[in-house]
Amino acid sequence: MVSFDNTEIAFQSKTNKDLKRAYWLFKIIASPTIVKIGKYFTNLALKIGLPIRKPVKATIFKQFCGGETIDECAETIKHLGSFQVGTILDYSVEGKTSDEDFDKTVDIIISTIDRAKNDSNIPFAVFKVTGIARFDLLEKASNKHYNFSDQEQMEINVIVNRIDKIAKAAYDAKVPLFFDAEETWIQDAIDTWTFEMMLKYNIEEPIVYNTLQMYRHDRLEFLKDSYELAKKNGVFYGVKLVRGAYMEKERERADLMSYPSPIQSNKEATDFDYNAALNFIIKHSEVFALCAGTHNEESSLILTQLLNENAISPDNKHFYFAQLLGMSDHISYNLSHAGFQVAKYVPFGPIKEVMPYLLRRADENTSVAGQTGRELSLIIRELERRKKN
């Protein structure tokens, strides 16, 4: 059985300097007040052009990102690979609105696919549909009752063409591709287009993966419906399973617009559905391919047990674990050490443009009960262990 308490294995890739930097970062992130003040001053400094690039790159960026460009990520890819941990290059630039920017993002995503081709250290590519499409159009496309104007329909066609261009590049390169999940009010269109790409590209092997956020109370049912659809159409259904990233925003919008919240009533319900989804996927492993994106120790252990009970080899490339770079190394490295398929999400992009992602990461660490405390306690234990040796 895998243990996540072995700090020697968990931090084998980290120098004492790395661990001390991580310690101070998580110590800061543990304080909601400091995070709030830090976010305000970082945004202000970026806005008025203060020279904060260097200190940001040496601290929070170094902890959670691979570099500003794909080439800059090479060292991280090689380093992770030396410990049998894969890299998922995640272009984390947000908030673009022009067609020129969207087309540039398509090219960068295809460059990550090209970089992954024939490199066993990069098992997946990933993209966000909001990175290549206007949010308001995605919202309209997710509204079954909305009637598009001719101009809007043309714009929707352009979005679908961009998606298809990326999916085809992944198919040609034989690089599995994650479509990231987003807010509920734009997700229906993303689900529809993702399945259309599966019908095209998942006939021989799982190339296209949809992402299911299990803090939504409807996703377990959606997973079961997707299984029936995939079986009926003779395609693989790739799933990246996560708990989710937009909880506060979802609840606020539901409250503001007076509709039932799509979010589970509590964390226990989310955990239950996440683990039930793992069970369902493994039970139907002839149709599914899975990447379990989780920082949850219990879910990770459950998946290792399910694979074992169902005689699925730990090195089966249809069943992966994934965590974010800079977090939950005790899960990633202990799983990898035990022979399981593991990858780290490695965000990249220009510092100024990746800051919204980094600040959200800080927010999430602050709001997830126990996450930061667990990181800190493991780092302290490893530093003490090294002192004794």
Residues 323 and 389 in one domain: no
pLDDT computed for residue 97 by the predictor: 86
**pLDDT (mean) for 134-161:** 96
pLDDT computed for residue 46 by the predictor: 65
Structure tokens at 168: 């085809």
Q: What is the CATH number of the domain that holds 133?
A: 3.20.20.220
Residues 186 and 324 in one domain: yes
Residues 178 and 276 in one domain: yes
| Residue 363 pLDDT class (50, 70, 90 cuts) | low
Query: pLDDT tens across 248-257, in order?
Result: 889 999 999 9
pLDDT computed for residue 43 by the predictor: 66
Of 367 and 25, the one with more pLDDT: 25
Residues 99 and 179 in one domain: yes
Query: pLDDT tens across 284-319, in order?
Result: 999 999 999 999 999 999 999 999 999 999 999 999
Residues 307 and 368 in one domain: no
What is the percent of the chain with per-residue pLDDT over 70, rounded to a whole number? Answer: 94
Phi-psi region of 261 (alpha: psi -120 to 50; beta: other; left: phi over 0): beta
Q: What is the DSSP code (8-state) at residue 164? A: H
pLDDT computed for residue 360 by the predictor: 67
Please check the confidence at residue 58 and state whether its pLDDT lies above 60. yes
| Residue 329 pLDDT class (50, 70, 90 cuts) | very high
Q: How many domains does the chain have?
A: 2
Burial 192-229 (b: 16+ CB within 10 A, else e): ebbbebbeebbeeebbbbbbbbbbbbebbeebeebbee
| Average pLDDT for the chain | 92
| Residue 368 pLDDT class (50, 70, 90 cuts) | low
Residues 48 and 103 in one domain: no
Which pairing describes strands 341-348 and 288-293: parallel, antiparallel, or unpaired? unpaired
Please check the confidence at residue 17 and state whether its pLDDT lies above 60. yes
pLDDT computed for residue 298 by the predictor: 96
Residues 165 and 314 in one domain: yes
Of 92 and 239, the one with more pLDDT: 239
pLDDT computed for residue 349 by the predictor: 94
Classify residue 293 as exposed, middle or buried by CB count within 10 Å of its CB (0-12, 13-18, 19+): buried
Q: Could you list the residue range(s) of the whole structural domain that residue 108 is in?
A: 66-348
Length of the chain (residues): 389
**pLDDT (mean) for 114-137:** 96
